[in-house]
Structure formats: structure tokens, C-alpha cells
Structure 1
């Protein structure tokens, strides 16, 4: 249950644009589960958003630019 709660908290923070809080929540998920690919991917996406901020009208959508 704690794993699910921390991942959901990460998603909520992601959607709200609070990438620092999202990283913390996804890190918790990753620690609880071990090698968690979904949490690791979201951490990468959060770090990208922090380094490359999007417009204020960002809706949480990520567009794949490569395969």
C-alpha cells in the first residue's frame, strides 16, 4: 500500500508541476520496490522538466520525440 501511495503522490505532484516533490515521491517508490522502471522513468522526466521548463499551459503530457 505504501508503494502505491508514494507513486500516486508522485503522479499528483507531476501533474501539478511540482517536479521536486514528484522526484521525492518516485524515489520513495523506487526504494520500496527496488528496480522500478516506471518510477525511474518519471524521475528522468521530472529532472528534464526542471532543466527545461515548459510553458505555463503545460498539461502534464509528454510527447515522445524519438523511439
Structure 2
């Protein structure tokens, strides 16, 4: 059985992914940040937080398939 806190984290992450796939990067960012308030060391939420910030500054094409492609090393 997982803790209530971990359950909240998982639910927030899942919701953030839904926003992300819908290209609603502002809401996705807020949701991933809420998840990291529960667990600041949550790596997956941190990765998506950074991706959302990137896409807010550099929106993907309209036919974006949800895949993040690194442009630099």
C-alpha cells in the first residue's frame, strides 16, 4: 500500500501529463510544481517542469506528437 502523499504525487503527475499532451504547458507546469512541493526530489516531475518551461518559450509545431527532442548536447 502506498502512502496518501505518494498517491497525491502520482495523481498530480498523471494530470500534468494530460495537460502536457494537450500542449497546455502553463497548466502542466503548475501541476508538476505542485507535485514537487510534495516531493522536491521527484525526478520525473522535474524533467517535465523543465520541458514545460522550454515549450512555453519555444512552442512546438501544431503537429507535435508529444515527443521531446533535444536540440543540443
Q: Which entry has the higher C-alpha Rg, 1 or 2? A: 2
Map of 1:39 onto structure 2: 45
Map of 1:60 onto structure 2: 66
Alpha-carbon distance between aligned partners in 2 of 1:27 and 1:6, rounded to the nearest angstrom: 9
Selected match of 1:48 from 38, 50, 54:
54
Ranges in structure 2 where 5+ consecutive residues have no aligned partner: 1-6
Count of residues paired in the alignment = 67
Q: Over aligned residue pairs, what C-alpha RMSD do you find?
A: 1.2
TM-score under structure 2 length normalisation: 0.83
1:10 paired with 2:16, answer yes
